[in-house]
Structure 1
Amino acid sequence: MTTRRDFLTAAAGLALMPGGAALAADARFTIQGDDFLLDGKPLHIMAGEMHYPRIPRELWRDRLRKLKALGLNTLCTYVFWNAHERRKGIYDFSGNLDIVQWIRTAQEEGLWVLLRPGPYICGEWDSGGYPAWFLDDPDIRPRSLDPRYMLPSGDWLKRLGQEIAHLEIDRGGPILMTQVENEYGSYGNDLAYMRAVKDQVRAAGFAGTLYTVDGAAVIENGALPELFNGINFGTYDKAEKEFERFSRFKPTGPRMCTELWGGWFDHFGEMHASMPIPPLIDSLKWMLNQRISLSFYMVHGGTSYGFDAGANFDRNSQTYQPDISSYDYDAMLDEAGRPTPKFEAARTLFKNYLPADRFPTLPEPEKAIEIKRFRLTQSAPLTQLLGKLVTATAPQTLEQLGQPHGLVLYRHRTKSALSGTLSFDEVRDYAQVSVAGIPAGTLDRRYHETALDIAAKKGATIDVLVDTMGRINYGDRIGKDQKGLIGNVKLGETVLTGWDHYGLPLDDLSPLTFSKAHVDGPAFHRGTFEVTEAGYTFLDLRGWGKGYVWVNGHNLGRYWSVGPQHAVFVPAPWLKVGQNEVIVLDLHAGAERSLAGGKNQIWDRPGLVEA
């Protein structure tokens, strides 16, 4: 059993942190025997995962300093392909997507980096990071040697390499290792494919140490034994048992829990996930005593802004499970970046093992501000943003229309009077149906709803407004979750042909013209509120229906009355002292159009609804 003195002595002899460019330029990271070596000295990797698109750029340094204040020495980060290449061949590495600055900021704060470029990342992120534009055909086989997949994958990795390969440790950067694919053993077992991805990573210019991650139970399916292999597990799993499994696959070499799940994510319509602290501490104690490296997933989750939250699919119940926009994850730092009791418990434990200089002072906390309830007094109909008309015999998916996200209005004009059951092969993901402008009902994919009864006169319009939620990011349906109306639409046994399509990507709200006139049906509602000091808040959306929220032009993500999330986080950098503008798109009619700002997220919890 390792004692505190043994661990402190070993820690004192570990390689120094990357304090500056001069040290990093001379550093060399290798694996020898059972150790990671940095400049020839053992390195015990203690990492935490954070994601740059989920944290406003102005807060990156604050969050990284808090990661370091926990006693950690390494940042672990995914790279989000679909965020950087939303349109084919058009790349964005600016603003909140400036991954070079994200990695350099980590280095400036004395942190090493584990890079996870995928190209598949899971991450409760839309389609696991795959762009919508190359998955317009559900026959494409992601995560395989299908050239329709491998060619764009290779092109993306090469483009990414141009941005960040020079930040590997041997070239003066902080990147210790670069991951190949992501938990592939839970998906397939084609090691030829894995080696092809490895070759693409090398061809992209990543010359340093590569690694894979998998669950210990499926590691033979996905791990390349010639690389370093990490394992992922949760705090309810016994760490000792997981590493016993791992040792049967690879008895020698460094050991690392590359994702230690100390929290979990949430789906719409469920209770907020919460994981207790004691099992986490037990796992940490055992790994620290064995000097096993580790990475928290997540140390801070943040928020999946805009349209970026993903979804799961329960194979047993065949049920679609969309993720909420909050990525709080019940993590060490909450959605607003505040240390939680879990953070304090881990930090207290780490102080028994690590030198005192591993624990810098936490940054000054940001201020949480309250906003008195105010009315949104102006409205504009959703139809003001209808895109260019596209006609087709059968309904087209968003991907076929070249639209990455948002809503689509499908319209059919009847050629004769109709009455009966209107049915759809599939609705992805939430539809409002109206006939001649009169609401006829809603269809929710979570409940397998695909039909409703209607009656329409000759020449009447049947409108189907489809709101899309996250694409499935895990399991065998990755890449097969195209959005909109799927397949045929029937009235009884008759296929309805001839459809108009109007896209609503919601990327630009500037064409909206607001007024104080009452608006029926789906509409945008606008209001203003005053802020007298810098800080963050949570906008209370109880009483609203389903839609999206923008503050000062920033899309804060989805909300839905089904919970468990009933407020949206507004980070301090996106508020300004003085007047602020909020726009809420609500798909449901309702009399109450007001908001207030509070200091905390509002969760549904088992047996409790927080006030």
Structure 2
Amino acid sequence: MASGKKSVRKIIDYDAKSMKIHGKRVILYGGEIHYFRIPYQLWEDRLIKMKQAGCNFISTYIPWNWHEPEEGRYLWDKGRDLDLFLKLCQKHGLYVVLKPGPYICAEWDFGGFPDWLLARDIKLRLPDDEYLSLVERWFRIVARIIKPHLVTRGGNIILFQVENEYDHLIEEGDLALSEKEALRYLMCLLRITRRCGIDIPTFTNEGSFIRGTEIIDTRTFYPNIPWIWLWEFDYFERLIEEAKKEQPDKPVLVLELGTGWFAQFAQPLYEGPWELLNAALKSVLVRGASLLNMYMFTGGTTFPYWGCKGDFGGIGSTTSFDFGRSPIREWGELDEKYYLARTVGLFLKSFPQLITKTEIIPEAAFFISGGERIRALEENKVQDATSFAGSYEKVLVLERFSPSGGLLLVRNLEDTVKKVAISYTSPLENIKRRLPEQGYLELPSYFTALLPLDVVIPGTNLLISHTTSELLTTKKIGDKQIVILYTQAGIQGEIVLGGKSLKVKALEGKVKVKRDNSSIRLFYQPEGVKLVEIDEKILLLILDSYWAGRVWLLDDSIMLTDLYYIKEIKEGPKEILLRGEAKNKVENKTRIFTFSKPKEIKVNGTSVPFNYQEARRSLEFNCRVKEE
């Protein structure tokens, strides 16, 4: 990897499991933001919003033609001030993945190449000597700006891309290009990169021919490309599995996990659904992905004359680069996908070992039996239809397994409800078990979940044997460990806890408790908030999907709020200060779980009254937010 130096590998390294930064495994969770599509005055706003969503890195291209529109005239000020953008990323604790091309695609004019290249008798994207000398000149200019920001020099840039989607050129381009020549070209780019003093790991996106070299082949994941295919997960999952086999010493890095698709003239505006991003994130995680780059995470604008044709049959991409409803919209508004991204980010921050210390075990889990439940529209009733067993692309169960706990992916990507029973392998006992223990589990249409198996909550002896809810986070506050799970709409809630002698008390919400000789089972509906106390030391907080995306971890408390956006939280010994935004100046519900009653709470500088409930160790308030 990198330059091969041991001193570099101590700072930035990788293996099949993940990247390692300063010797520690890191799951990289973030998204694409194009500084060249956003007014520079708004860069910091967007970066703060990404950080608050749980992102720990951002990814961006560097368009050659944006910075050198005329040969020898370089522009690096205002909206082209890459150094400022990188400093803002470091200020807010975000790693950076940089992609300077020379070809970037990005639905950008000429794929980022400057037009003046056409005046030369050279072959682009090939091992042409004159072309490569111009690329090296471009890379050296970029290197002057980015080298102080490399992680190997105390900065935050951790990965460097050369070229983009070269597999497409081999498969669909007009050139009679061999993989051997493609490999020679990419290795020339790698040598240029190293000569420019860039010593961090280097990758190319969708360059399968590069496997077995120092360059990492990274993957894309676009199950929905409107007017071409929809919900096509199997194809991209197969490519991930092939990459794992053919570069077994490298991690699974998904550099383009599609949140939607770009808009084109003469086509309806496409908006990717919430369920698509939910399924994509959890499906690549169960396949072992340790870098998830949501593309796009932050929308932008392709300003006039910087657009492109779009595709082979396209007539042009639009100025809007909202990319089918990005989590942060083109104009900066937060979409519901933003709060979904927060739930996955919280889970990965709290339970990374369930990805990095587990492996997929073939046939460890499967559908025992079940049936589809089809709603007859004309009769307004539900009837049983054909039964099925096993898995297939759209209705799938898959288990990640280790002796210390596992995860179960359960997925239904069809438009009808599925009624199933699942056999899985207990990671703790290595025996077959059934989920649910009795009856059937109804999977709503377009449903995807990562369910924990035999997970011991950190800081406790509490064993969650299995559950139809998903883990969100855990935190010790005062003398109690708070464990938060969430349940998606349409799913019957069930948690099986190991240990028959636990003292279980429902403090809030309707929760049914059943005991047997070896475990305790909790049953509940997915709506609202449930609070369960266990052995007077653990608080189990069970939320629905809406509230799960609105959980904030403070230093000494946990906050649930449907304030539209929280920009800053300051927690002192006697007060809590919030800065944020609200929509339409409506009442905003906020609940804070804390074991010390604060003297004052201020929202945007205004003190708000609150009600503290000692028994539930929480306070509540509603407020009208005065915008700052």
Residue type of the alignment partner of 1:342: K
Mapped to 2, the partners of 1:53 and 1:342 lie a distance apart of: 23
Indicate yes or no: 2:131 matched with 1:149: yes
Among 189, 195, 217, which residue is 1:197 paired with?
189
Structure 1 match to 2:208: 220
Among 321, 345, 349, which residue is 2:315 paired with?
321
Structure 2 match to 1:232: 220
Residue type of the alignment partner of 1:262: T
Question: SS at the partner of 1:259?
Answer: strand
Mapped to 1, the partners of 2:217 and 2:208 lie a distance apart of: 11
Indicate yes or no: 2:297 matched with 1:305: no
Residue pairs, 1:34-73, within 5 angstroms: 34-73=17-56
Structure 2 match to 1:338: 333
After superposition, the Cα gap between the structure-2 partners of 1:349 and 1:145, relative to the gap in structure 1 and judged at 3 Å, is closer
Shift of 1:175: 0.3
Question: SS at the partner of 1:351?
Answer: helix
Structure 2 match to 1:160: 142
Residue pairs, 1:568-583, within 5 angstroms: none
Greater alpha carbon shift after TM alignment, 201-210 vs 325-334: 201-210
Cα deviations across residues 120-158 of structure 1 (Å, max 9, x unaligned)?
A: 100000000000111135x63210012342222111111
Structure 2 match to 1:247: 244
Residue pairs, 1:24-173, within 5 angstroms: 28-136=11-119, 140-173=122-155
After superposition, the Cα gap between the structure-2 partners of 1:353 and 1:154, relative to the gap in structure 1 and judged at 3 Å, is closer
More strand, by proportion: 2
4+ residue segments displaced more than 6 Å: none
After superposition, the Cα gap between the structure-2 partners of 1:175 and 1:201, relative to the gap in structure 1 and judged at 3 Å, is same
After superposition, the Cα gap between the structure-2 partners of 1:179 and 1:295, relative to the gap in structure 1 and judged at 3 Å, is same
Whether the 8 Å contact between 2:10 and 2:23 is mirrored in structure 1 is no
> Unaligned regions of 5+ residues in structure 2, if any?
1-7, 171-178, 224-230, 351-472, 476-550, 554-564, 568-579, 585-628
> Unaligned regions of 5+ residues in structure 1, if any?
1-24, 369-611
Mapped to 1, the partners of 2:322 and 2:183 lie a distance apart of: 34
Cα deviations across residues 284-310 of structure 1 (Å, max 9, x unaligned)?
A: 123334552211111012101131112
Question: SS at the partner of 2:315?
Answer: strand
Q: Number of paired residues? A: 335
Shift of 1:26: 12
Question: SS at the partner of 1:321?
Answer: coil
Mapped to 1, the partners of 2:321 and 2:16 lie a distance apart of: 38
Cα deviations across residues 78-101 of structure 1 (Å, max 9, x unaligned)?
A: 101101001100101111101011
Shift of 1:223: 4.9
Residue pairs, 1:584-603, within 5 angstroms: none
Whether the 8 Å contact between 1:211 and 1:230 is mirrored in structure 2 is yes
Among 270, 273, 281, which residue is 1:284 paired with?
281
Structure 1 match to 2:611: none
After superposition, the Cα gap between the structure-2 partners of 1:26 and 1:359, relative to the gap in structure 1 and judged at 3 Å, is farther
After superposition, the Cα gap between the structure-2 partners of 1:308 and 1:289, relative to the gap in structure 1 and judged at 3 Å, is same
Mapped to 2, the partners of 1:328 and 1:91 lie a distance apart of: 28
Shift of 1:253: 2.4
Mapped to 2, the partners of 1:287 and 1:34 lie a distance apart of: 13
Mapped to 2, the partners of 1:140 and 1:275 lie a distance apart of: 40
Shift of 1:180: 1.5
Mapped to 1, the partners of 2:232 and 2:191 lie a distance apart of: 33
Shift of 1:53: 1.0
Residue type of the alignment partner of 1:111: L
After superposition, the Cα gap between the structure-2 partners of 1:31 and 1:349, relative to the gap in structure 1 and judged at 3 Å, is closer
Structure 1 match to 2:165: 183
Q: Percent identity?
A: 30
Shift of 1:334: 1.1
Whether the 8 Å contact between 2:31 and 2:59 is mirrored in structure 1 is yes
After superposition, the Cα gap between the structure-2 partners of 1:321 and 1:224, relative to the gap in structure 1 and judged at 3 Å, is farther
Whether the 8 Å contact between 2:59 and 2:97 is mirrored in structure 1 is yes
Whether the 8 Å contact between 2:16 and 2:252 is mirrored in structure 1 is no
Mapped to 2, the partners of 1:75 and 1:345 lie a distance apart of: 18
Whether the 8 Å contact between 1:186 and 1:221 is mirrored in structure 2 is no
Mapped to 2, the partners of 1:231 and 1:346 lie a distance apart of: 20
Shift of 1:212: 1.7
